[in-house]
């Protein structure tokens, strides 16, 4: 199964569901989903090294998306590619390559509501609810 | 025939427009869950998971009386939107998710000294000027840049710090809930990330359901109170809906994470991770309350700066006399936690998508409104009515001094977008005589009027339940949106 995401309906908010062959792919696919949602324009190429920490893997996924939302709001960075993604125990490192512009939509926050990241029948599934 | 909706819930009528799910319905509930609604609104409420979320709120340690929901309740994440929870001071919990990401999102109403007829052909110019002076949407250009000690002062004091700089007036501050300043605000409890996100966003509307709307007072329903609020039929008013922007979003994010990590230490079990909380008296609880107060003060300063931008637009289009005669009716918060006293008991009242509605005689009200009760603003959606209400004694008896905050969403954002395109909605609104300035067609479609419940019905419920009474109905004639 190639990595894929879909936006599910949730009154007032946006819910992202992700399926991918590996846990690492879930994190990369989540960045693609977020970029689609933010809808950036053509801008200057930019690269940022990101490191986030959290108590467990689902919280790490929330923290990762939170960091990307923060970069979009403060620097206008919308990711195009995630390189060198290292998933450690309670920490993640990655190089985010993208463009800085004025994203049309920002994400207010990544919530812990229904936050899911788990292995299901040999592939990985995640659900994240965003406040937009 | 299919089973009635909500068949699994033990939902009983317990008073005028009031329904209850008893605490015995789930082993983890500490108090009952109560919802103010009529049968039709209740049917809509049962369409989503909002009452299950309200039951989850009823499990929080230290919650007193009941987890309450207003008739505009809809499903949120963690707490439902339109929920109220009062927890005992000092050891009951405080939950950042019970206030929400948009700390002190709220509504401010300005009354212009002109009627719509007097405004005449200058209406479009005024809406255009406001859209230039009050930036909307995702971009952060155009806001007032505040950092360092200036930002600290703003976080501690709220709009009073702007009045010192010649922005707005002392009267505006006086006619703001809590005079625009929550006690105990501590800038050092606000992270550097939160400060960075808020930088440049003071005086900006933001996106989502936030707006600045030009309204006409369509009908006065309580003449005496309307006169005290400075409202008369035909008059032009401006409704401002915004909050603490990126600064508040980050404060909530920071403390949900911190309390998620800490709550087990306090022996707290939660049915939903987003309800993360800690005792108010704990280091985490105290730090959150101090940061939340700072973000709330930032939000009041933001609406204060937006009101100033509106006044300056009025000055350019209608002249100095009209600008100086533009009176702030009031400003209310609808996402906040506040320490209040009921029947001698001190509680921390979480209002998430709910408005304080104190009755006449309350010492917390400005002198002008002590005899009328507190003004409450209930925006409908674009294209439908909004209401001005006044707080009634029933709110103290039944809902910790609280009433509804809006019409309440009925459809998801994607659901709304599937039914109408932004360009088509814009044409429809303009055909109804509403001038629209909107940064994003997608954002416009998500806020389509049919995505919301019937505001007349919501307001009728809070009136019948004795929480607030109707004072005036407004109708939009211009919309500036993100």
B332-348 pLDDT tens trace: 999 999 999 999 999 99
Please answer yes or no on whether B77 and A74 come within 8 Å at the CB atom: no
pLDDT of residue B3: 41
CB burial of residue B25 (10 Å; 0-12, 13-18, 19+): middle
- B405 catalytic, yes or no? yes
The count of residues in chain A is 132
Instruction: From chain A, pick out residues whose CB is under 8 angstroms from the CB of B78.
Output: 111-113
Cβ distance of B249 and A131 shorter than 8 Å: yes
Nearest to A109 among B74, B249, B409 (CB): B249
The residue whose two tokens read 């109220």 is B84
Instruction: Tell me the pTM.
Output: 0.96
B260 touches chain A (CB under 8 A): yes
CB contact under 8 A, B140 and A73: yes
Give the confidence band of B280 by pLDDT, cuts at 50, 70, 90.
Answer: very high
Q: Of B241, B304, B308, B405, which is the active-site residue?
A: B405
Residues A62, A68, A74, A77, Cα dihedral to 10°: -170
pLDDT band at B154 (very low <50, low <70, confident <90, very high): very high
User: Between chain A and chain B, how many beta carbons pairs sit less than 8 Å apart?
Assistant: 100
Average pLDDT over residues B374-390: 93
Q: Which of chain A's residues have a Cβ under 8 Å away from the Cβ of B101?
A: 108-109, 131
Report pLDDT for B7: 57
Banded model confidence at residue B4, pLDDT cuts 50, 70, 90: very low
| pLDDT, position B330 | 98
How would you classify the pairing of strands A123-131 and A13-20? antiparallel
Band of residue B139 on the pLDDT scale cut at 50, 70, 90:
low
Residue bearing tokens 């949602």 = A37
Mean pLDDT of chain B: 94
- pLDDT tops 80 at residue A72: yes
Task: Give pLDDT, residue A39.
Answer: 86
Cβ neighbours for B344, distance < 8 A, ≥ 6 positions apart = none
- Interchain contact A15–B (C-beta under 8 A): no
In terms of Cβ atoms closer than 10 Å to its own Cβ (0-12, 13-18, 19+), residue A44 is exposed
Please give, rounded to a whole number of angstroms, the shortest distance from the CA of B365 to a CA of chain A. 32
The yes-or-no verdict on residue B353 having pLDDT over 50 is yes
Chain B residues near residue A110 by CB distance under 8 angstroms: 253
Judge: A70–B250 Cβ closer than 8 Å, yes or no: yes
Interface test with B, best of A112, A114, A115, A132 (most B CBs within 10 A): A112
Residues 431-460 of B with CB under 8 A from A: 440, 442-443
Q: Cβ contact (<8 Å) for A110 and B253? A: yes
Residues making up chain B, counted from first to last: 482
- Nearest Cβ partner for B440 among A13, A66, A104: A104
Contact B91, B281 (CB under 8 A): yes
Question: Is the pLDDT score of B167 beyond 60?
Answer: yes
* Residues B275-294, mean pLDDT to the nearest whole number: 98
Answer whether B369's CB lies under 8 Å from B137's CB.
no
The ipTM value here is: 0.96
Query: pLDDT tens digits, residue range B17-73?
Result: 999 999 999 999 999 999 999 999 999 999 889 999 999 999 999 999 999 999 999
- pLDDT tens digits along B408-463: 878 887 888 888 888 888 888 888 889 998 877 878 888 888 888 889 999 999 99
Which residues of chain B make contact with A66, given a CB cutoff of 8 A? Answer: 253
> What would the mean pLDDT of A46-53 be, rounded to a whole number?
97
CB–CB contact A11 B75 (8 Å): yes
pLDDT recorded at residue A11: 66
> Given a cut of 50, is residue B331 above it in pLDDT?
yes
How many CA atoms are closer than 13 Å to the CA of A2, on its beta-carbon side? Answer: 0
Contact B260 A14 (CB under 8 A): no
> Do B475 and B58 touch, CB atoms closer than 8 A?
no
Q: Is B196 on the interface with A (CB under 8 A)?
A: yes
Contact yes or no for B197 and A59 at CB 8 A: no
H helix intervals, B158-235: 160-163, 170-174, 192-198, 223-229
What pLDDT is stored for residue A132 in this prediction? 86
Q: Which residue of A has its CA nearest to B261?
A: A55
Which pLDDT value is given to residue B326? 98
Q: Is A103 on the interface with B (CB under 8 A)?
A: yes
């Amino acid at each position: 199964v190639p990595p894929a995401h879909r936006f599910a309906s949730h009154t007032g908010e946006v819910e992202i569901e992700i399926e991918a062959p590996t846990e690492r792919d879930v994190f990369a696919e989540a960045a693609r989903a977020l970029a689609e949602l933010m809808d950036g324009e053509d801008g200057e190429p930019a690269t940022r090294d990101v490191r986030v920490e959290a108590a467990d893997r689902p919280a790490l996924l929330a923290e990762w998306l939170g960091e990307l939302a923060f970069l979009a709001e403060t620097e206008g960075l919308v990711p195009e590619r995630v390189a060198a993604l290292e998933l450690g125990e309670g920490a993640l490192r990655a190089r985010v390559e993208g463009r800085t512009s004025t994203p049309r939509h920002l994400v207010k926050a990544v919530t812990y509501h229904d936050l899911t990241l788990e292995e299901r029948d040999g592939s990985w599934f995640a659900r994240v609810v965003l406040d937009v | 025939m299919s089973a009635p909706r909500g068949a699994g819930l033990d939902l009983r009528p317990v008073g005028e427009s009031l329904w209850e799910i008893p605490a015995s319905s789930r082993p983890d509930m500490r108090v009952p869950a109560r919802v103010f609604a009529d049968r039709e609104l209740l049917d809509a409420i049962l369409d989503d998971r909002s009452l299950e979320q309200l039951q989850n709120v009823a499990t929080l340690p230290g919650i007193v009386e009941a987890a309450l929901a207003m008739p505009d309740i809809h499903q949120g994440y963690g707490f439902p939107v339109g929920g109220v929870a009062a927890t005992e001071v000092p050891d009951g919990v405080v939950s950042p998710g019970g206030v929400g990401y948009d700390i002190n999102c709220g509504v401010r109403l300005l009354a212009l000294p002109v009627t719509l007829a007097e405004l005449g052909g200058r209406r479009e110019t005024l809406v255009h000027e406001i859209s230039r002076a009050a930036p909307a949407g995702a971009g952060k250009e155009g806001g007032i840049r505040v950092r360092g000690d200036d930002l600290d002062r703003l976080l501690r004091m709220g709009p009073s710090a702007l009045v010192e700089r010649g922005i707005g007036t002392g009267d505006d501050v006086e006619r703001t809930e809590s005079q625009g300043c929550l006690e105990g605000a501590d800038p050092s409890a606000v992270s550097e990330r939160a400060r960075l996100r808020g930088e440049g966003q003071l005086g900006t509307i933001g996106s989502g359901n936030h707006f600045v709307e030009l309204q006409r007072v369509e009908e006065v329903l309580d003449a005496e109170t309307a006169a005290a609020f400075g409202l008369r039929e035909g008059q032009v008013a401006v409704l401002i809906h915004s909050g603490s922007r990126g600064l508040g979003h980050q404060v909530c994010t920071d403390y949900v994470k911190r309390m998620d990590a800490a709550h087990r230490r306090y022996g707290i079990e939660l049915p939903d991770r987003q309800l993360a909380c800690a005792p108010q008296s704990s280091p985490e609880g105290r730090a959150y309350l101090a940061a939340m107060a700072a973000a709330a003060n930032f939000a009041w300063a933001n609406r204060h700066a937006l009101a100033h931008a509106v006044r300056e637009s009025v000055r350019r289009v209608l002249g100095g006399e009209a600008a100086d005669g533009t009176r702030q009716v009031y400003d209310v918060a609808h996402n906040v936690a506040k320490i209040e006293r009921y029947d001698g008991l001190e509680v921390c009242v979480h209002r998430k998508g709910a408005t304080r509605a104190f009755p006449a005689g309350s010492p917390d009200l400005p002198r002008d409104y002590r005899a009328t009760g507190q003004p409450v603003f209930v925006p409908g959606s674009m294209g439908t009515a909004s209401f001005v209400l006044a707080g009634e004694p029933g709110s103290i008896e039944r809902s910790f001094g609280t009433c509804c905050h809006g019409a309440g969403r009925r459809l998801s954002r994607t659901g709304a977008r599937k039914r109408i395109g932004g360009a088509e909605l814009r044409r429809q609104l303009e055909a109804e005589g509403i001038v629209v300035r909107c940064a994003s067609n997608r954002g416009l479609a998500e806020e389509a009027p049919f995505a919301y419940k019937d505001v007349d019905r919501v307001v009728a419920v809070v009136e019948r339940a004795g929480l607030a009474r109707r004072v005036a109905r407004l109708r939009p004639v211009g919309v500036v949106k993100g």
